[in-house]
Amino acid sequence: MLSRLKTIFDDAVASVIAAPHEVDSEHPARLAAAALLVEMSRADHEVSEREQAHIRRALVDVFSLSQDEVETLLAAGASSADAATSLYEFTSVVNERFSHEQKVHLVELLWRIAYADGELEKHEAHLVRRVANLLHLRHREYIGSKLRAKQDNAAD
């Protein structure tokens, strides 16, 4: 079963690489982050345009991607999220490739998406909590990221 999941994930990564000889070493991390952001937008079973805009802006800001690259990554992230059976597939890649500060920032981005539609649903809060636990964040980092995202959302 694990080998099948790895195959699905590897296929998704391979399908997005533009040139077969140019391997982007950052792509698996980007794909994992995009999939987590997509999962967050789906947590309340209603994907709003505002949530999608937050995801696009996050991918541009965090990874310095063009709009075309963002759209490609977002489609691959959605496809990976569709095929996933657990969050571990993505959080393990994030744990391997992100610094601790980047992990905290990713959790803050998840909170921003959760707050994007003006409501925090219990499923959204639960998902962020699960991801934060899988990323081995301290409770104060989890709460700090939540408070920053909530404050930023109120300012929008």
The structural domains of the chain, with segments of one domain joined by +, span: 2-155
User: Is residue 23 scored above 60 in pLDDT?
Assistant: no
10-42 as b/e, with b when 16 or more CB fall inside 10 Å?
eebbeebeeeeeeeeeebbbbbbbbbbbbbbbb
Helices 67-83, 49-63: axis angle to 10 degrees equals 110
Q: pLDDT tens-digit profile of 58-112?
A: 999 889 999 999 999 999 999 999 999 999 999 999 999 999 999 999 999 999 9
What is the share, in percent, of the chain residues with pLDDT greater than 90? 62
For residue 21, the model assigns a pLDDT of 36
User: Is residue 6 scored above 80 in pLDDT?
Assistant: no
| Architecture of domain 2-155 in this structure | Orthogonal Bundle (1.10)
**Is there a contact between 108 and 149 (Cβ–Cβ < 8 Å)?**
yes
pLDDT band at 118; cut points 50, 70, 90: confident
Token pair of 115, please?
């707050």
User: Is residue 35 scored above 50 in pLDDT?
Assistant: yes
Backbone angles phi, psi at 111, to 5 degrees: -60, -40
The DSSP symbol for 44 reads T
